[in-house]
Every structure is written in C-alpha cells, then in structure tokens.
C-alpha cells in the first residue's frame, strides 16, 4: 500500500506526448484512438492539432518565412504553458498570440470537462497533451522537451513511420490536401527521433503506420505515456543537454544565414539566364533544379553541423566563415546547373 501511495505522489501531473511524422502518416488517427483509451484510464486528455491552431497563411509560407513559422509554433507552446500555470484563465490566449481561439478552446474543453469523471476525480486525474504535428526537425521537438522539463512533466515521442507513396495517396483523398511538392520537401528535412545522438529523445518509440494501427500499437503508446507520467523530468539542467541545445541553436542560425545567401545566388542565376534569353521552359527547369539543389544542400549542411563532435556554442565558432564556405560550395553547384541549362537552350 505504501509503495502504491508513493507511486501516486511522484506521478507527474501532466505529460507532453509528441506525435511526429510526415503529413498523412496517421498521427490524427492515432491521437483519436489514444484519447479513447486515455478516458478508460481516467486521464484528462486532449489533442493539440497544430494544423487547426496555426493560421492557414503561415502554412503557405513555412518554407520561405522560417521566422514567422517558428513564432506561430512557439505560440502554441505558450498556450499550453499558460494553461499549466493558470488553468483558471480557461481558454484565454497569451497576449499577442495569433493562435486560433476557437480551436484552442476545443483543445482544453476536454481537459476541463472530462467525460465519465466526477469533479473530485477530474482534479486528481493526470493531464495528457498529444501534440499533433510533423515535428520534422529535432529542434522543434526539443522546445517541447524544454517545456516539459521546466514544469517537471512527463515527456515522450511517437514517430509514425509511413512510406512516402502511402502518405501522398492518403493526402490526396483529404478535403484540403497538402501540395505534393511540400511533402517531397518535408521528406528531405525530416529527422526522426534519434536517442543515440540526442539523449533527451530516449523516451521515444517508432510505429510503422503504412498499414492500419493495431491494438498492440496503441498498447505500446499507452505504456510509453504511462512511463512518462511516472517518471517526470527534472528541471535541473544537464550539461550534455545544454550542449545539444547549443548545437541545435547554432546549426539553425548557420543554416538560416546560408539559406538567405543561397537565395540571392539563385536570383542572380535566374537574372543571368534571362539576360541570355533562355527559353521559358528552360527557365522553369532552372528554377526547379536550383531550388531542389538548395534544399538538399541545406539539409546536408544541417546534418553535418549537428554531427560535428567539436561543434559548440556560437561564440566558439566563426559563424560568418562557416556560412561563407558553405555558400561557396553551393555557388559551385549553381554554376554547373546554370551552365547545363544554358547549353540545353542553345
């Protein structure tokens, strides 16, 4: 009996569960099934659907306007944080937040008025937030981890692994399908949870969702969440985790600056092609090849930066020099593509 009481006392009041993977990989389907099972456990659970909370225009510019896209994502976490701190504010949004108010109200309604639980049970019931988004970069998931650690919450991740063809097929049957080119771009960027590289991703599982989810899959997820609730994170910062955070921050900065420089080089290449009267069909091909080359190059650059053993804080490295070297490499690729297209046009 004493052991049982001790387990209840140490159990986390809430868990942040990240559902990540390609669009149409089955995250929303999994979330619905977990909600039903969570209710049977007596938990107060809700889904935090980024697609509904973030304004549609932000999705249309997420590749081009990284800063705006990131600010909307952070606003979602601010909403969760405010609820954790002051649930009495109910559905009020943080000042200045651009999150959809109606969608957020729906998110927390399940937490405030759980079915099949009386008032006293509801107050003691653990909170479960299922964060439904692609979360293709580790840095996106790390922000959720930081929030969980700040409030000593449970944290876990479920990666839904589904082949691209199945995702594209499912996506096309949706009422508002995502453009296929966006999905292809996301495949290049997607970095699944890697506990071997990131110690904070230890509490993660991977599900193959090419076929339908099984009862065994749901059971694995519930066991993962139960473990996270029973083992809340400590707010004390670990030096290794801080270094990983610094790596992520610095890599993001380098890639962002390189991206801006590469865009200017692409604009210069397009201008050169127009001045040489390259045919419209070749101009279209040039733009596509340059943008594809840039996306692949930036993805490789990010991976390389994160894998560098000596990679530390921004103050310890010459960011400007790293960016210049990277841009020089891309400029060489740009010149080869431009030359090939101009030869085809002549």
Q: Is a pLDDT exceeding 90 seen at residue 35?
A: yes
Query: Where are the domain boundaries for CATH 3.40.50.300 in the chain?
Result: 9-230
Give the pLDDT score at 91. 59
Q: Is a pLDDT exceeding 70 seen at residue 291?
A: yes
- Residue 54 token pair: 């973030």
> With contact defined as beta carbons under 8 Å apart, do 222 and 37 qualify?
yes
Give the pLDDT score at 62. 45
> With contact defined as beta carbons under 8 Å apart, do 39 and 45 qualify?
yes
pTM of the full structure: 0.67
CATH of region 9-230, choose from 3.40.190.10, 3.50.50.60, 1.10.1660.10, 3.40.50.300: 3.40.50.300
Q: Which of 102-111, 123-132, 317-326 has the highest mean pLDDT?
A: 123-132
State the greatest distance between any 2 C-alpha atoms of the chain, in Å, as a whole number.
85
Q: Is a pLDDT exceeding 80 seen at residue 187?
A: yes
CA atoms within 13 A of residue 69's CA, in its CB half-sphere? 11
- Residue 8 token pair: 């209840």
> 243-280: b or e for each residue (b if 16 or more CB lie within 10 Å)?
ebbbbbebbbebbebbbebbeebbeebbeebeeeebee
- The DSSP letter of residue 13 is S
Residue 165 burial (CB count, 10 A): 9
- Of 156 and 242, the one with more pLDDT: 156
Q: Is a pLDDT exceeding 60 seen at residue 315?
A: no
Give the C-alpha distances (Å, rounded to integers) separating 41 from 35, 81, 120, 128, 218.
10, 24, 15, 11, 13
Pairwise CA distance, residues 272 & 270, whole Å: 5
Q: Across residues 316-338, what is the average pLDDT?
A: 83
Residue 314: pLDDT band with limits 50, 70, 90: very low
pLDDT digits (tens, 9 = 90+) for 195-251: 988 889 999 999 998 888 899 999 999 999 999 999 999 886 556 666 677 777 788
Pairwise CA distance, residues 38 & 15, whole Å: 12
pLDDT digits (tens, 9 = 90+) for 88-117: 665 567 666 678 888 888 888 877 765 555
């Amino acid at each position: 009996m004493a052991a049982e009481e001790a387990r209840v006392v140490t159990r986390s009041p809430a868990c942040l569960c990240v559902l990540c993977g390609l669009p149409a990989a089955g995250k929303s389907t999994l979330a619905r099934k977990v909600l039903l099972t969570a209710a049977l456990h007596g938990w107060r659970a809700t889904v935090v659907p980024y697609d509904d909370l973030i304004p549609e225009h932000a999705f249309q510019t997420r590749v081009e306007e990284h800063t705006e896209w990131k600010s909307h994502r952070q606003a979602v976490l601010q909403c969760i944080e405010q609820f954790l701190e002051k649930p009495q504010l109910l559905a009020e949004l943080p000042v200045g937040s651009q999150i959809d108010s109606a969608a957020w109200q729906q998110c927390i309604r399940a937490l405030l008025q759980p079915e099949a639980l009386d008032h006293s049970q509801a107050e003691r019931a653990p909170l479960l937030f299922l964060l439904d988004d692609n979360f293709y970069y580790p840095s996106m998931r790390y922000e959720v981890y930081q929030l969980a650690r700040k409030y000593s919450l449970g944290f876990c991740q479920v990666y839904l692994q589904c082949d691209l063809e199945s995702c594209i097929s499912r996506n096309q049957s949706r009422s508002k399908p995502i453009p296929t080119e966006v999905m292809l771009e996301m495949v290049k960027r997607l970095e699944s949870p890697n506990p071997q590289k990131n110690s904070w991703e230890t509490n993660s599982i991977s599900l193959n969702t090419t076929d339908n989810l099984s009862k065994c899959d749901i059971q694995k997820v519930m066991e993962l969440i139960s473990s996270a609730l029973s083992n809340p994170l400590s707010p004390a910062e670990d030096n290794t985790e801080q270094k990983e955070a610094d790596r992520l921050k610095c890599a993001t900065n380098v890639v962002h600056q390189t991206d801006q420089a590469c865009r200017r080089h692409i604009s210069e290449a397009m201008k050169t092609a127009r001045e040489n009267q390259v045919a419209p069909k070749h101009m279209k091909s040039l733009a596509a090849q340059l943008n594809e080359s840039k996306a692949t190059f930036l993805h490789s650059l990010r991976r390389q930066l994160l894998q560098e053993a000596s990679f530390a804080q921004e103050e310890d490295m010459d960011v400007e020099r790293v960016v210049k070297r990277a841009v020089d490499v891309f400029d060489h690729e740009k010149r080869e593509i431009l030359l090939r297209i101009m030869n085809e046009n002549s």
